[in-house]
Amino acid sequence: MTLAVSLDGTDVSGVAIRGSATRRLNRPSQAQITIPMDSAIGGPGSILKVSFDGGSTLFHHGRVLDCETDTGEDEGFTVYNSSDPMELWQWRPARDGPASTDPGDFSNPTMFQEFPTGPQLIEQMLLQSEDDSDPALGEGPLFLDLGTFEGGGVDLSGAPVDWPMTIAQVVGLLVSTGEVDVVITPTDPGGDIMGTVDVYNGDYGTDLSGSVVFQYGTGSLNVRRLRWNEDMTQMCNKLWYFGGPRIETAQDPGGNQHWCFNVQGDDPGLPGFPASPPYSTVIACRDDSRDTYGVRMEVKIFDAASDLCVGQSGSDPGRELYRYLWITESYARCVPRELIHITPIRGYGIGSFDIGDLVGVEAGAQVRGGFSGAQRVYGYSISWDEDGPFELSELQTSADMEGI
C-alpha cells in the first residue's frame, strides 16, 4: 500500500507521520492526520485527501473542520480533523424539493406525502438545498455529485416530529427505519466536488460472510482483539408510539387522552400483518421476551401539529414511516443485544470489504464456548504511523438483531 495525503493540493505524504481515515455508512466519513508543526500548512477550511494506493482511488476527500497545534519542550505537532461533505447536511434546513407544490418551504413542508419513498425524498431535499437563486429557496452547493437514488422503496409517508428540521435530522429518521442507506463515495472530478452521494433502499452492500471471515482463537487467527458485549439495559418488549397532535372529542374536550394516531403490536398497517415476516418474527420475539423477562414498556410521543389530522377526526393518516420504525425498534429491543467488536491483526483485511457488506465473525471455544455468525459493517478505519504497517481499527458492525 502506498499512502498519498494532500492538503489544499500540496502533497504532505512524507510528513503525515500519523493518521487515520474512516469510512461510515449513513454518517459523515472522517479523517485525521498529524504533521510536525514546522511542516504544517493550511487550517480549518482546507481540503484533505487521503488515498492508500498512491492517489489512484480516494479513501477520503473532505474539509478540515478543526486544527490543533500542540508543542512540548523539543517538538510540536499539528493535528487536522476532516469530514466529508455529508457534514454540511446538519447546517441545511430540509426543504420541499423542486418537484413539490411549494419548492423551498421548510416551515411546514409536505415532502413526506409527496415523495413517500426514502431515496426520492432525499434527492428532492438535496436538489432544493443547492438552489441559491433566491435565499428563500436554498443555500447553495453541497460539494457532491448526485448519483443513484434507488426506486421501488417502501412507503415511508408520515409527518416527522416537528418542523423545521435539518437534512441530517430527516435522513437520520429515514435511516432509522432500516429501509434507507446513504453512501458517500469520495471522488475528485475537479472544481468543488468531493464525492458522489447514492441512496439505496436499505440494502446496500454485498454478502461476503462466506469469503471474508474474521476468526479469533480459531481458523486463520486473523483477529488480535475481540470484545463481546451482552446488554439488556435498553430492552423493551411493549413499545407504543403516539403521534400528535392531540385530538379534542366530546368525551375528551381537552384532548388529553386522544392522539392523531398510534402504532403498537396490533396495528394492521404493520409490514407483514398479521402472519408473515417481519411482523410475525417481531411478535414472536416480543411474546417470548415477556415470558422470560417480564413486561418492559416504553411509550414514545411524536407530538407535532399535522395537516394529516386537523379537521379529519376518524381519518387514517399516513404513518408508514412510524410503522417501519416500530418494527425495527421492537425487534432490536425485544431481547438483550449482543455486540461483537473485532480488531483484525495488523495488515489484514484491508480492501477486502467495504461499508454495508456482511462479513463472517467466528470465535473459538475458549471464548465462552465460541460462536459464529455474520455482521454488517457500518464503519471502519485504516490507520498508520511512522513505525508500523497500515492497519484496520475495530470494526463498527451491526448487532445480532439486525436484518429480519
The pLDDT tens digits for 155-166 are: 998 766 678 999
> Which of 6-20, 41-55, 250-264, 297-311 comes out lowest in average pLDDT?
297-311
Q: Do residues 126 and 140 make contact, with C-beta atoms less than 8 angstroms apart?
A: no
Q: Shortest CA distance to 157 belongs to which of 327, 402, 325?
A: 325
Same domain for 159 and 308, yes or no, is no
SS3 245: strand
Give percent of the chain above pLDDT 90: 73
Residue type present at position 330: S
pLDDT of residue 338: 85
Of 299, 333, 367, which closes a domain? 333
Same domain for 95 and 74, yes or no, is no
Same domain for 105 and 65, yes or no, is no
Same domain for 226 and 360, yes or no, is yes
Give the CATH number for residue 73: 2.30.300.10
Residue 104 is assigned to a structural domain of this protein: yes
The model's pTM is 0.90
Mean pLDDT of the chain: 90
Same domain for 195 and 95, yes or no, is yes
Residue 54 is assigned to a structural domain of this protein: yes
Higher pLDDT, 306 or 296: 296
Number of compact structural domains in the chain: 4
Same domain for 308 and 169, yes or no, is no
Q: Shortest CA distance to 402 belongs to which of 202, 183, 208, 216?
A: 202
Higher pLDDT, 162 or 314: 162
Cα–Cα–Cα angle for 207, 210, 216, rounded to 5 degrees: 115
How many of the other CB atoms lie within 10 Å of CB of 274? 10
Answer whether residue 88 shows pLDDT above 90. Answer: yes
Same domain for 325 and 291, yes or no, is yes
Residue 180 is assigned to a structural domain of this protein: yes
Phi/psi at 192 (5° precision) = -95, 0
Number of helical H runs and strand E runs in the chain: 5, 20
pLDDT of residue 307: 56
Residue 46 is assigned to a structural domain of this protein: yes
For 270-300, write each residue's pLDDT tens digit.
999 998 888 999 999 999 999 999 999 999 9
Answer whether residue 177 shows pLDDT above 50. Answer: yes
Residue 208 is assigned to a structural domain of this protein: no
Residue 32 is assigned to a structural domain of this protein: yes
Determine how β-strand 18-24 pairs with β-strand 30-36.
antiparallel
**pLDDT-based confidence at residue 311 (cuts at 50, 70, 90):** very low
Same domain for 118 and 138, yes or no, is yes
Same domain for 180 and 277, yes or no, is no
Residue 59 is assigned to a structural domain of this protein: yes
Answer whether residue 197 shows pLDDT above 80. Answer: yes
**Distances 212 to 29, 369, 386 between C-alpha atoms, Å:** 23, 22, 28
Give percent of the chain above pLDDT 70: 93
Same domain for 161 and 263, yes or no, is no
Domain residue limits at 320 = 238-333
Same domain for 11 and 75, yes or no, is yes
pLDDT of residue 32: 98
For 316-349, write each residue's pLDDT tens digit.
556 889 999 999 999 999 999 888 889 999 889 9
Determine how β-strand 144-149 pairs with β-strand 195-200.
parallel
pLDDT of residue 398: 77
Same domain for 94 and 177, yes or no, is yes
Q: Shortest CA distance to 336 belongs to which of 403, 404, 277, 399?
A: 399
Q: Shortest CA distance to 160 belongs to which of 321, 364, 323?
A: 321
